[in-house]
Amino acid sequence: MTAGAGSGPHASVPPHSGAARAGAAPEVAAAFPDIDSLIGALDAADYVVDPGLATALFLAVRLPQPVLLEGEPGVGKTEAAKALARALDTPLVRLQCYEGIDAAEALYEWNYPRQLLAIRMAEARDERLAENDLFTRDYLLRRPLLAALEHPGPRPAVLLIDELDRADDDFEAFTFELLAEAAVTIPELGTVTAVHPPIVVLTSNRTRDLHDALKRRCLYHWIDYPAPDRAAEIVRRRVPDSALPLTLDATAAVVRMRGLDLEKPPGIAETVDWVAALTLLGVPRLDAVPAELAVTTLGSVLKSREDLELVRAKGLGWLTGSSRA
């Protein structure tokens, strides 16, 4: 990845670590000898995985290879990276992508006020600073990508490049070198190669297709809506004081709602919010008295008037599964 502008008077090129997928650091390999050990660590970090996602994350950690997670909103893409960092007991470095994001925000910027101050102070001492003196690491503002590459260890950081589909094509192409080689080139400094290459998790909501070239560099995993029992387990993690019958009812109701032609089908996040609301209101089951609460709290789950009307028209019996409408 080449970024920034200006002359390159003194490139200091650190040795390149070379081989991609050289295997994880011994400490990481020892902590996660197999997929089950990672499932256990993620579980302890309150993240519930199915075997498919666990395998993808295990390979991302152990090969290592960046993993691209796609899935409907709220299925746990972002949380997967956060949980991985907790499981590894390592920092999460997050780059939130948006339209127009560029290298200065993602990688590094020169600290111009500091450079200016250094020039002024030198002038006050009747000295003159050479350009080389001003383009050193002391004057770098590290943005997330550089911070992740320069993480001092002992374990690699987890780098989350979140919602890459929101960034422009050019920015996506700009991440290629980083993904393939855990290195970036800063014209004034040379190539910065990670001593502890970060574990990279990319997410996309598929508002546009990502480049094939990017996908080639990544493992790919589609996170589906969890099966109802797994969904109930996730909800119980997030709302520990919720009643089990309520979580089972709510997750089943959400599955039924997704079968309707909704503008915005609810994800796990909305299910969690709904159960939290009902628990706060003291509701132990969806059809518990007063039963209207199941309907009046639907704003936790559905976020448009049309969707609300569609589900309300189905009635409480449909929502609780006691009748078919």
Binding mask 68-87 for Mg ion (x = CB under 5 A): ----------x---------
Q: How many CB atoms lie within 10 A of CB 36?
A: 12
**Helix, coil or strand: residue 50:** coil
79/287 with CB nearer ligand ATP: 79
Applying the rule CB under 5 A, the residues between 199 and 258 that interact with Mg ion are: none
73 binds ligand ATP (CB under 6 A): yes
Q: How many CB atoms lie within 10 A of CB 315?
A: 13
285 binds ligand ATP (CB under 6 A): no
Answer for which of 157, 234, 243, 248 binds ligand ATP (CB under 6 A) is: 234
Q: Which residues pair with 94 in a beta bridge?
A: 160
Burial of 140 (0-12, 13-18, 19+ CB in 10 A): buried
148/192 with CB nearer Mg ion: 148
Enclosing H/E stretch for 41: helix 35-44
Q: Where do runs of H (alpha helix) occur along 94-199?
A: 103-106, 112-124, 131-134, 144-149, 169-174, 176-181
Applying the rule CB under 6 A, the residues between 143 and 182 that interact with ligand ATP are: none
Question: Strand locations in 38-182, DSSP E?
Answer: 67-71, 92-96, 108-110, 140-142, 158-162
74 binds ligand ATP (CB under 6 A): yes
Binding mask 15-54 for ligand ATP (x = CB under 6 A): -------------------------------xxx------
Binding site for Mg ion (CB under 5 A): 78
Binding site for ligand ATP (CB under 6 A): 46-48, 71, 73-79, 205, 234, 237, 268-269, 272
